Amino acid sequence: MKKIILSVCALALILFLFMGKKMERQGITKHLPTDYKQFVIGHRGARPMVPENTLSAFKYAKEHGVKMVELDVMLTADKIPVVFHDETLKRMARNPARIDELTFEELQKIELPAGERVPSFDAVVKLLKELDLSVNVEIKPSKPEFAKITAQKAWECIKANDFADHVFVSSFEWDSLFEFKKLAPSIKRGVLVEDVSPDWRETAKKLEAFSINYDANLLTPALIEEIHSLGYKILVWTVNDKKVANTLFEQGIFAIFSDEPDILGE
Ligand code: G3P
Ligand code: MG
């Protein structure tokens, strides 16, 4: 009898430890737990206050209590991964040049608002590591044909800086995610969906996605129910209104991307 009780206890302990490990793996990154009730991700850092996607934006986010930031990665003409959102410098520097037509050196000569420069992904990763900040790396190839190489270059940099534990990856360019899955299967993946996207269901399944990342303007209660029933978390962009944020959280949304994470966060 004693033996049976001991065996049952041992089994229970093994199960408990196993479940514990499994729970551990549920975080969006290994670095972050999952139990935030209102999880707000700093969209491109913290936008209205400091120029987006810059070193200052990420520092600002950290100083204001943000736990995770989102950023966009694309490649220069000489295939250096940089953190920038648009394909051209029109909006940020009133310059029509394309990012993928400038070398990194040429790009550094162009001034962004507040005297900032487009940072290399490497410089940003080093800063995030120093700040101990988790990050949603959005792979944003400037052309579809750069889908794989952009994922490869981003991963090389994450690996070289030993930063995988802090990374969650997403992309509208789903080939980038398939490439990333090959390179770093343990990093969780979010399928970004926009109104022109083909059906995300099959892709999310093949990608073994963690989440579906949806535009706040397109998300409906029926979609929320469906995505949840398929077992994915939902991340929503871009939410800058507290009321909208609260409604989304009440509907079970896992996280929102906000330009004002310091105001909307817990
Ligand atoms: O990842 C959420 C959001 O950043 C996607 O849209 O255009 O801001 O990169 P965009
Ligand atoms: Mg983005």
Residue 256 counted as domain residue: yes
Residue 12 counted as domain residue: no
pLDDT over 80 at 135, yes or no: yes
Residue 5 counted as domain residue: no
Residue 13 counted as domain residue: no
List the catalytic residue out of 31, 85, 166, 228.
85
Q: What is the pLDDT of residue 41?
A: 96
pLDDT over 50 at 23, yes or no: no
Q: What is the pLDDT of residue 26?
A: 63
Q: What is the pLDDT of residue 73?
A: 98
Q: What is the pLDDT of residue 125?
A: 98
pLDDT over 90 at 9, yes or no: no
Residue 105 counted as domain residue: yes
Distance 260 CA to ligand 2 centre (A): 14
How many domains are contained in the chain? 1
State the Cα–Cα distance between residues 24 and 206, nearest whole angstrom. Answer: 23
Residue 263: band (very low, low, confident or very high) from pLDDT cuts 50, 70, 90: confident
Q: What is the pLDDT of residue 18?
A: 45
Please give the residue that has the higher pLDDT: either 103 or 47.
103
Residue 225: band (very low, low, confident or very high) from pLDDT cuts 50, 70, 90: very high
**For the chain, what is the mean pLDDT?**
91
Residue 245 counted as domain residue: yes
31 is catalytic: no
Residue 64 structure tokens: 């204001």
- CA-based nearest residue to 261, from 239, 244, 229, 230: 239
> What is the tally of helices (H) and strands (E) in the chain?
11, 11
State the Cα–Cα distance between residues 53 and 49, nearest whole angstrom. Answer: 12
Distance 56 CA to ligand 1 centre (A): 19
Q: What is the pLDDT of residue 14?
A: 52
Q: Over range 17-38, report the average pLDDT.
A: 68
Say what percent of the chain tops pLDDT 90: 81
CA dihedral 129, 131, 136, 137 (to 10 degrees): -50
The CA-CA-CA angle for residues 81, 117, 72, to 5°, reads 40
Q: Over range 14-28, report the average pLDDT.
A: 52
DSSP labels for 15-55?
HHHHHHHHHHTTSSSTTS-S--SSEEEEETTTTTTS-TTSH
Convert the pLDDT of each residue in 59-109 to its tens digit. Answer: 999 999 999 999 999 999 999 999 999 999 999 999 999 999 999 999 999
Domain carrying residue 83: 28-264
| CB 173 within 8 Å of CB 72 | no
Residue 167 counted as domain residue: yes
**For ligand 1, atom 7: residue with the closest CA:** 85
Convert the pLDDT of each residue in 177-201 to its tens digit. Answer: 999 999 999 999 999 999 877 899 9
Distance 136 CA to ligand 2 centre (A): 9
CA of 249: how far to CAs of 28, 49, 188, 189, 195, in Å? Answer: 17, 25, 21, 21, 22
Half-sphere exposure of 182 (CA within 13 A, CB side): 9
pTM for the complete prediction? 0.90
- Mutational pocket test of ligand 1: of 74, 192, 258, the residue with most ligand atoms within 8 Å of the beta carbon: 192
pLDDT over 50 at 51, yes or no: yes
**For ligand 1, atom 2: residue with the closest CA:** 237
Q: What is the pLDDT of residue 246?
A: 94
Q: What is the pLDDT of residue 144?
A: 97
Residue 90 counted as domain residue: yes
State the Cα–Cα distance between residues 1 and 85, nearest whole angstrom. Answer: 66
Say what percent of the chain tops pLDDT 70: 89
The CATH number of the domain holding residue 71 is 3.20.20.190
Least confident of 7-16, 144-153, 213-222: 7-16
Q: What is the pLDDT of residue 196?
A: 77
